[in-house]
A and B are shown apart, each in its own frame.
Chain A
């Protein structure tokens, strides 16, 4: 479970100061699904970075299962990311020189284990997103939707507690968007993940049971009983 208390992230450039996040309090239950929306520059990605332990707030605390991520050393934070948090990015962020299977393996490298075991798990993860036949393909040989599915397999192969997605359909056309969202929702349900997603897409936002809207660093939560 995530518990954010008084999280503020302040950026200073020259004499001007901007609060990307301003005194945010937020709780996200295990297995919950939260969609974050808001205007560009409103602080969506900053909030996601705080949740993912990619950045530290200027003030406040970010607790994951009772552990304050802001107090952890860089090495321990890296370990938390490696074990518990899966990321899916808007631009897929696959390593262009590695095959689909090798890209998925990169998420298992920090956890150690034998290479053969890594390869087997990577192949299984790709199979679960419908890319069992494309293990040896490079990202450049796949469509955008397929690349994002490789990225989803990479995020989930280590069986994390949390899946963070930063506009995962932002670079996809409508058909691919639906394809990717279907995969993500299936995975969320099957794996019992805590799924937090940033999106600009209102159609996707409407399907979420809980919506966080960020404006000028302030978060407003809307519950969607119909979802």
Chain B
């Protein structure tokens, strides 16, 4: 009787049922689309972060910011103004951010509770300046017979009167990044975000070998290839592999063994960054706290911290999804629940005589209420099915269109100590590497999202049923029978 009555009533009031189901469906579809787009944003952000961190890194440890004002480590170039126009060249290898940690810090970090693995790396920036000085020519005013006076860089003389014309300096500045990687632990760190597309990666035995892996785009620009050599500050490295970043820019232009990098930068037993993998991804915050507490003078940056530095359209869209999208979904859901509740309550009001009759026949209030709640629940489930269908279609459309979002990382100075990109030099010590990536947005729908949608549908039905059921339970059979429609 329960199901027969329920089915017939829903069929009789199919328009009202459709309105309720559609309202719930709209709310549920919005929740699915917003959740899946948010999930897509999150994945896009992870992709951006992975391009810096490498896969599997949960946090990085860097040296805490030094007091501003120290400029002793600023790069200095000294060129002689020789008596000829010969080319001069000077390499400056600088530790990125000018802040280093002792290699022992890597071991200390590795021993912290909750740390699964820790590996150190040294990020360098090489600034190569080469070019030549050109002498200016002295021309005497009004005295053609005066002898030319030459002087480096021009410059006046007192006798005779005249001026130096031409001359000056022409220097080419070339900057690239070098990353010293621990070849014994290559499953953590920036190189993991790239694939070796030619040649090979480092062997575990090449801890101090003069070998290098070069980023594909840098190799193309500088016409480098496997088997050739690349010179860094006078040291020739044999290129053993070419790597291609999974997305966007690579973490560095050149990768060399850590010891080699330390030698180049005169930073023996120093690292710039410790890459940390937590044993449990749910415990990242506690691991961060433990490291900061137990190892003084360090800054720990997690993926979540770094995500705060993401800007660009990805960040804007992400903000929209998490703020506007979330609140819009909630508002629509609340409105849908209210409308469903009011319509159900109104339907009960129109059926006062019907329910009154049933009560007169001996139906308990609970049975009448169950009937009303049952109808509302089925209505909610219909809305849920419809909403899930519309939501899945919406998510499919987003994935099919795959709008491109741009993510810009760093530049805010808040991220701190990231290894990587070629642009991080010269700024404040804690300036994050600046990086720009284009990411195609997808909207993956997870099982949990579907379960949430089903739960919302049930909740919507129950809320609507509660409105109607409460109204039905309060009906007195005598009142119901007095009412004539």
> How far is it, in angstroms, between the C-alpha of A57 and the C-alpha of B175 when the chains are bound?
99
A78-95: which residues lie under 8 A (CB-CB) from chain B?
78-79, 81-83, 87, 89, 91, 93, 95
B11 surroundings in chain A (CB, below 8 A): 97
> How far is it, in angstroms, between the C-alpha of A49 and the C-alpha of B360 when the chains are bound?
10
**Is residue A18 contacting chain B, with contact meaning CB distance below 8 A?**
no
In the complex the two chains form, is A102's CB within 8 Å of B4's CB? yes
B305 surroundings in chain A (CB, below 8 A): none
**Is residue A52 contacting chain B, with contact meaning CB distance below 8 A?**
yes
Q: A96-B12, A98-B5, A105-B1 are in contact. Are A52 and B360 (CB under 8 A)?
A: yes
In the complex the two chains form, is A98's CB within 8 Å of B362's CB? no
In the complex the two chains form, is B362's CB within 8 Å of A55's CB? no
**Is residue B259 contacting chain A, with contact meaning CB distance below 8 A?**
no
Q: A49-B478, A55-B476, A91-B484 are in contact. Are A107 and B361 (CB under 8 A)?
A: yes
> How far is it, in angstroms, between the C-alpha of A154 and the C-alpha of B360 when the chains are bound?
12
A42-56: which residues lie under 8 A (CB-CB) from chain B?
45, 49, 52, 54-55
> How far is it, in angstroms, between the C-alpha of A107 and the C-alpha of B8 when the chains are bound?
18
B478 surroundings in chain A (CB, below 8 A): 49, 54-55
**Is residue A136 contacting chain B, with contact meaning CB distance below 8 A?**
no
> How far is it, in angstroms, between the C-alpha of A105 and the C-alpha of B359 when the chains are bound?
14
| Minimum CB–CB distance for B258 against chain A, Å | 79
B484 surroundings in chain A (CB, below 8 A): 91
**Is residue A39 contacting chain B, with contact meaning CB distance below 8 A?**
no
B293 surroundings in chain A (CB, below 8 A): none
Chain B 386-423 per-residue mask, 1 if CB under 8 angstroms from chain A, else 0: 00000000000000000000000000000000000000
B1 surroundings in chain A (CB, below 8 A): 102, 105-106, 109, 115, 118
Chain B 361-379 per-residue mask, 1 if CB under 8 angstroms from chain A, else 0: 1111101000000000000
> How far is it, in angstroms, between the C-alpha of A102 and the C-alpha of B481 when the chains are bound?
21
**Is residue A75 contacting chain B, with contact meaning CB distance below 8 A?**
yes
B71-107: which residues lie under 8 A (CB-CB) from chain A?
none
Chain B 1-25 per-residue mask, 1 if CB under 8 angstroms from chain A, else 0: 1001100110110000000000000
| Minimum CB–CB distance for B247 against chain A, Å | 60
* Dominant secondary structure of chain A at its interface with chain B: helix
In the complex the two chains form, is B482's CB within 8 Å of A97's CB? no
> How far is it, in angstroms, between the C-alpha of A45 and the C-alpha of B5 when the chains are bound?
29
Residue of chain B at shortest CB distance from A109:
B1
Which of B1, B359, B361 is the most central at the interface, judged by chain A CB atoms within 10 Å of its CB? B361
> How far is it, in angstroms, between the C-alpha of A89 and the C-alpha of B483 when the chains are bound?
12
In the complex the two chains form, is A106's CB within 8 Å of B361's CB? yes
> How far is it, in angstroms, between the C-alpha of A25 and the C-alpha of B8 when the chains are bound?
45
B360 surroundings in chain A (CB, below 8 A): 52, 54, 81, 87
Q: Give the tally of cross-chain contacts (CB within 8 A).
A: 74
| Minimum CB–CB distance for B348 against chain A, Å | 14
**Is residue A130 contacting chain B, with contact meaning CB distance below 8 A?**
no
B361 surroundings in chain A (CB, below 8 A): 81-82, 87, 106-107, 110, 154
In the complex the two chains form, is A110's CB within 8 Å of B362's CB? yes
> How far is it, in angstroms, between the C-alpha of A81 and the C-alpha of B1 when the chains are bound?
20
Residue of chain A at shortest CB distance from B366:
A75
A95 surroundings in chain B (CB, below 8 A): 5, 354, 357-358
B175-196: which residues lie under 8 A (CB-CB) from chain A?
none
In the complex the two chains form, is A106's CB within 8 Å of B358's CB? yes
> How far is it, in angstroms, between the C-alpha of A143 and the C-alpha of B221 when the chains are bound?
93
In the complex the two chains form, is A81's CB within 8 Å of B364's CB? no
Residue of chain B at shortest CB distance from A93:
B357
**Is residue B277 contacting chain A, with contact meaning CB distance below 8 A?**
no
Residue of chain A at shortest CB distance from B360:
A87
Residue of chain A at shortest CB distance from B8:
A97
> How far is it, in angstroms, between the C-alpha of A25 and the C-alpha of B367 when the chains are bound?
35
- Could you say which of B5, B8, B9, B481 contacts A54, with CB atoms under 8 Å apart? B481
Which of A78, A83, A98 is the most central at the interface, judged by chain B CB atoms within 10 Å of its CB? A78
| Minimum CB–CB distance for A12 against chain B, Å | 15
B11-52: which residues lie under 8 A (CB-CB) from chain A?
11-12
| Minimum CB–CB distance for B7 against chain A, Å | 9
- Could you say which of A45, A78, A83, A102 contacts B359, with CB atoms under 8 Å apart? A78
In the complex the two chains form, is B363's CB within 8 Å of A110's CB? yes
Residue of chain B at shortest CB distance from A56:
B478
In the complex the two chains form, is A89's CB within 8 Å of B357's CB? yes
Interface residues of B (CB under 8 A from A): 1, 4-5, 8-9, 11-12, 353-354, 357-365, 367, 476-478, 481-482, 484
A/B interface sample: 16 pairs, CB < 8 A: A45-B482, A49-B481, A54-B360, A78-B363, A78-B364, A93-B357, A95-B5, A95-B357, A96-B12, A97-B8, A102-B4, A105-B1, A106-B363, A109-B1, A110-B363, A166-B481
A82-B363, A97-B5, A109-B363 known; 9 new pairs, CB 8 Å cut-off, are: A74-B365, A78-B362, A82-B361, A87-B357, A93-B354, A95-B354, A105-B1, A110-B367, A111-B362
Interface residues of A (CB under 8 A from B): 45, 49, 52, 54-55, 74-75, 78-79, 81-83, 87, 89, 91, 93, 95-98, 102, 105-107, 109-111, 115, 118, 154, 166
Q: Please give me the 4 A-B residue pairs with the lowest Cβ-Cβ distance, nearest first.
A: A82-B362, A97-B8, A110-B362, A55-B478
